[in-house]
Amino acid sequence: MIRAIVAVDKEWGIGKKNGLLFNIPEDMKFFREKTLDAVVCMGYNTLLSFPNGKPLKNRINATLCPPEINRDDLFCFHDLDSMLDFIKRAEKDVYIIGGAMFYHTMLPYCEEVYVTKVDAVGNAEVFFDDLDKDGDFSLVEESPSLDASGYKIRFTTYRNNNVKKI
């Protein structure tokens, strides 16, 4: 199954200065548990936002990257069709892990989206699509509001009712 996983603020903001808006270990733990041993696909800016620009451990990493970039520490694709072909052949769960540009491109192919909602405003520069305004998506699960490192957060799941087949 193809899923996206994201943390958003009250305005569906997800990042600024090529970094995250919040540091919430409880959400990091959720992300790690969900994506462990899976395939994680990302845009190139998101790869660069990781410590030392390195792929995530214990996962199969793939990125859509500029033509001049070729790396041997993860799968690099230079066009969307090659990335989609790779995803189609994957024998494990696939997670789309950001950022804004890549989420937007991949959302139609995602069956589910795990959205951690942070009840705060992070003054974001980049945003996730507002799924409450997207007729294809419905909210199917929502945790109670939880206290997490000084923030109120909710773990939610949206389902795509109009999945685009690869």
Ligand X SMILES: NC(=O)c1ccc[n+]([C@@H]2O[C@H](COP(=O)([O-])OP(=O)(O)OC[C@H]3O[C@@H](n4cnc5c(N)ncnc54)[C@H](OP(=O)(O)O)[C@@H]3O)[C@@H](O)[C@H]2O)c1
The DSSP bridge partners found for residue 152 are 147
Owner of token pair 């569906």 = 12
Please answer whether residues 42 and 75 qualify as being in contact, where contact means their C-beta atoms are separated by less than 8 angstroms.
no
By rule CB under 6 A, what count of residues binds ligand X? 25
> Could you tell me the smallest distance in angstroms from the CB atom of residue 80 to ligand X?
5
* Among residues 99, 109, 113, 153, the one that binds ligand X under rule CB under 6 A: 99
Please answer whether residues 62 and 77 qualify as being in contact, where contact means their C-beta atoms are separated by less than 8 angstroms.
yes
How far apart CA 130 and CA 125 sit, in angstroms, is 15
> Could you tell me the smallest distance in angstroms from the CB atom of residue 135 to ligand X?
22
Site string for ligand X, 41-70 (x = CB under 6 A): -xxxxx--x--------------xxx----
For ligand X, the closer CB: 60 or 65: 65
Please answer whether residues 136 and 116 qualify as being in contact, where contact means their C-beta atoms are separated by less than 8 angstroms.
no
Binding site for ligand X (CB under 6 A): 6-7, 14-15, 18-20, 42-46, 49, 64-66, 80, 97-102, 105, 126
